Each structure stands twice: as structure tokens, then as C-alpha cells.
Amino acid sequence: MSDKPVDRRILRTRRALQNALIQLILENGYDAVTIEEITDRADLGRTTFYLHFKDKEELLLHAVDTICEDFIDKNKALLDLVDDPHDAIHKLRLNLDKQILYYIFAHARDNADLYKVMLRGEGSAMASQRFANIIKNEAVKRLDRIKGLEIKVPIEIFAVFFAGTIMEMVTWWLEEDMPYPIEDMVAYFQQVFIFGALDTLHIPKPEEV
């Protein structure tokens, strides 16, 4: 993912191609989608497509990167951890406790079509793997910055487990047409994952703080 600013016209074009691809995948499946169908749906020419992407897989991976960047940008203040060990661990506990989980599910709800395509591994395992790797790498980056954190397993193991678990729960929730409110899903995730994670990270449960 690049920090280089992109021209608004380029952003609009890529967004149109991305939206066209996602809708066509949901309608017909990834393998059936052609470049011509994507450009027709986006009301753009094939030449325009190839100015931006070499094929539909690169377009799908770009969509994954874009949605992850959007989430990180919107929640940067919440995700960033401070250097002081006590404050950092306290903030991590709050994130694991409720706040960041709520925004993960809310972001999935607000971008449900793209999340469904990403998480079900439609057409290319690379898309879902890219998404999992971004979650894992963000978790590792932030945990590595906490001085004095005592963890019972390698940070990478914790991050992989977190990424896989949250992806599975969000996938199920979306595929079942969001049968429970976000607040309930957060509570369920806390129960099946977070309380065990807090023990692994030597962080007191909310009622013990």
C-alpha cells in the first residue's frame, strides 16, 4: 500500500472498475467475469482498464488494499498505541475489549459486498490471503511497539489467530445477512476469543481493572 497521493480522476476510475467487478462477482462468480463485462458495467473502455490494471485479479487485490487503507485511515487514532507501557497496555485492553471490534463489524456492514467477495475467497485465494496478511501485519506492528508487554506465544502466532478468527466471524455474519446486531457480535467475539487473548497477553479482564 502506497502513501503517494492519487489524482481524483484516477480514484474515480478505479472505484468505478472496482464496484463493477464486485457486483459482477456477486452476480456471476469470479471465474465468469470478463474484462469487457467490467468495463461495460463501469461505462469505461478496455484501454482505460489496462491503463490501471493488468487483469481482474490485480483489480481485486487493489480493492482489498483500498478497503484496508480506508479502515486504517478512519480509525488511526484508535489503532495507534502510545509508547508508555501502562497507557499502551490500557489502550490495547480497550481495543480488544470493545471499541475496535465494533468498528470492524461496522466497516464490514458498510462495505458488505466487497467484504463478502474478499472473505469468501471468491475466484482467487490471493484476495482473502492479502486481507488476512494486512490484518496480521497491522496487529504485529502495533503489538511490537508496546514496551513491557509479556506474551506467552510469539506475536506472529497471536496475530495470525486473531486475523483468522475475526475474518471467520465477519464472513459468517455477512453471509447470514447480519442476523445479530453489531453490539451482540462484539460480545460474542469477546466471549470466544478476547478473554482467552487477554490471559495470553497478561492483560487483566475488564472487571479486574
Distances (CA, A) of 77 to 13, 26, 74, 148, 199: 29, 33, 8, 22, 25
pLDDT at residue 79 in the model: 65
Q: What is the pLDDT of residues 22-50, one digit of tens each?
A: 999 989 888 899 999 999 999 999 999 99
Q: Are the beta carbons of 71 and 57 closer than 8 angstroms? A: no
Pick 12 or 77 by higher pLDDT: 12
Domain that holds residue 204: 62-208
Q: Are the beta carbons of 64 and 131 closer than 8 angstroms? A: yes
Residue 11 lies in a domain: no
Residue 32 lies in a domain: no
Residue 187 lies in a domain: yes
- Evaluate if residue 110 carries a pLDDT over 90: yes
Residue 27 lies in a domain: no
Q: What is the pLDDT of residues 92-102, one digit of tens each?
A: 665 555 678 88
Residue 42 lies in a domain: no
Domain count, the chain: 1
Residue 24 lies in a domain: no
Residue 34 lies in a domain: no
pTM recorded for the entire structure: 0.77
Among positive and negative, which fits the CA dihedral 70, 128, 1, 41?
Answer: negative
Residue 10 lies in a domain: no
32: DSSP letter = G
